[in-house]
Chains A and B, each alone.
Chain A
Amino acid sequence: MEPSELKRSKDSPNSDESTRRSSFPDEVLERVLSLLKSHRDRSSVSLVCKDWYNAERWSRTHVFIGNCYSVSPEIVARRFPKIKSVTLKGKPRFSDFNLVPENWGADIHAWLVVFAAKYPFLEELRLKRMAISDESLEFLAVSFPNFKALSLLSCDGFSTNGLAAIATHCKNLTELDIQENGIDDNGGSWLSCFPESFTSLEVLNFANLSSDINFDALERLVGRCKSMRVLKLNRSVSLEQLQRLLVNAPQLAELGTGSFSEELTFRQYVELESALSNCKNMHTLSGLWDAKGIYLPALSPVCTHLTFLNLSYAALRSDELAKLLAHCPRLKRLWVLDTVEDKGLEAVGLNCPLLEELRVFPADPFDEEIIHGVTEAGFVAVSFGCPRLHYVLYFCRQMTNAAVATIVQNCPDFTHFRLCIMIPGQPDYITNEPMDEAFGAVVKTCTKLQRLSVSGRLTDLTFEYIGRYAKNLETLSVAFAGSSDWGMQCVMGGCSKLRKLEIRDCPFGNAALLSGLEKYESMRSLWMSACNVTMNGCRLLAREMPRLNVEVMKEDGSDDSQADKVYVYRSIAGPRRDAPPSVLTL
Chain B
Amino acid sequence: MERRVNYENDLNLMATELRLGLPGCGDDEPQRKTNPSIRNNKRTAPEISEVTSSESSSSVTMSGSDDQDSPPPAKEQVVGWPPIRSYRKNCLQSSKRNEVEGMGMYVKVSVDGAPYLRKIDLKVYRSYPQLLKALENMFKLTIGAYSKREGYNGSDYAPTYEDKDGDWMLVGDVPWEMFISSCKRLRIMKGSEAIGLGCV
Contact = CB atoms under 8 A, between A and B. Distances in A.
Contact of B164 (A94, A182, A263, A375): A263
B5 A423 contact: yes
Interface in A343-397: 361-366, 368-369, 371, 375, 395, 397
Given A369-B4, A395-B82, A507-B49, A564 B42 contact: yes
Interface string B49-90: 100110001101110000000001001011111111111110
A533 to B, nearest CB: 10
Contact of B181 (A294, A366, A375, A484): A294
A558 B81 CA distance: 21
Given A294-B178, A531-B43, A98 B80 contact: yes
B27 interface: no
Interface in B83-117: 83-89, 91-92, 94-96, 98
A316 to B, nearest CB: 12
Contacts of B86: 96-98, 182
B169 interface: no
B21 A180 contact: no
Q: Bin the interface of chain A by size.
A: 35 or more
Interface string B171-184: 00001011001100
Interface in B8-25: 20-22
B61 A558 contact: no
B120 interface: no
B6 interface: yes
* Interface-centre pick from B53, B82, B87, B96 (highest chain A CB count, 10 A): B82
Contact of A432 (B48, B57, B95): B57
A180 B88 CA distance: 8
B87 to A, nearest CB: 4
Contacts of A400: none
Contact of B62 (A265, A289, A426, A562): A426
A398 B63 CA distance: 13
A293 interface: yes
A424 B45 contact: no
B138 interface: no
Contacts of A138: none
B21 A371 contact: no
A507 B47 CA distance: 9
Contacts of A457: 21, 52, 60
A363 B91 CA distance: 10
A33 interface: no
Nearest to A368: B4
Contacts of A483: 48-49, 52-53
A499 interface: no
A99 interface: yes
Interface string B159-200: 000001100000000010110011000000000000000000
A361 B84 contact: yes
A525 interface: no
Contact of A505 (B1, B43, B58): B43
Contacts of B62: 423, 425-427
Interface in A423-455: 423-427, 429, 432-434
Contact of B82 (A422, A429, A562): A422
Q: Bin the interface of chain B by size.
A: 35 or more
Interface in A449-482: 457, 459, 477, 479-480, 482
Contacts of A249: none
Interface in A469-523: 477, 479-480, 482-484, 504-509
A361 B91 CA distance: 12
A424 B175 CA distance: 41
Contacts of B96: 364
A72 to B, nearest CB: 29
A243 interface: no
Contacts, number: 153
A556 interface: yes
Contacts of B48: 482-483, 506-507
Interface string A397-438: 110000000000000000000001011111101001110000
Contacts of B75: 368
A424 B21 contact: yes
Contacts of A96: 83, 85-86
Contact of A362 (B46, B84, B94, B181): B84
A457 B51 CA distance: 11
Contacts of A134: none
Contact of A97 (B6, B79, B94, B178): B79
Given A292-B181, A426-B21, A97 B80 contact: yes
Nearest to A266: B165
* Interface-centre pick from B22, B53, B87, B94 (highest chain A CB count, 10 A): B87
A315 interface: yes
Contacts of B57: 432-433
Nearest to A453: B83
Nearest to B80: A97
Given A94-B80, A99-B80, A154-B85, A423 B4 contact: yes
A555 B46 CA distance: 20
Nearest to A532: B45
B39 interface: yes
Given A98-B80, A483-B52, A294 B21 contact: no
B21 A362 contact: no
B61 A506 contact: no
B49 to A, nearest CB: 6
B180 to A, nearest CB: 9
Contacts of A293: 177
A19 to B, nearest CB: 47
B89 A365 contact: yes
Contact of A265 (B41, B46, B98, B165): B165
B164 A265 contact: yes
A180 B77 contact: no
B1 A555 contact: no
A313 interface: yes
Given A181-B87, A483-B48, A424 B81 contact: yes
A432 B45 contact: no
A530 interface: yes
Interface in A213-231: none
4 tightest A-B CB contacts, nearest first: A425-B21, A368-B4, A97-B80, A507-B45
Interface of B: 1-2, 4-6, 20-22, 31, 39, 41-46, 48-49, 52-53, 57-58, 60-62, 72, 75, 77-89, 91-92, 94-96, 98, 164-165, 175, 177-178, 181-182
Given A294-B181, A423-B2, 11 more contacts: A97-B85, A97-B86, A98-B79, A154-B87, A290-B95, A292-B181, A315-B95, A395-B84, A424-B21, A483-B48, A507-B46
23 contacts: A97-B81, A265-B164, A289-B91, A289-B95, A290-B95, A292-B181, A294-B178, A361-B84, A363-B92, A368-B72, A368-B75, A422-B81, A424-B81, A429-B2, A459-B52, A479-B81, A483-B49, A484-B49, A505-B78, A506-B48, A507-B43, A555-B42, A557-B31
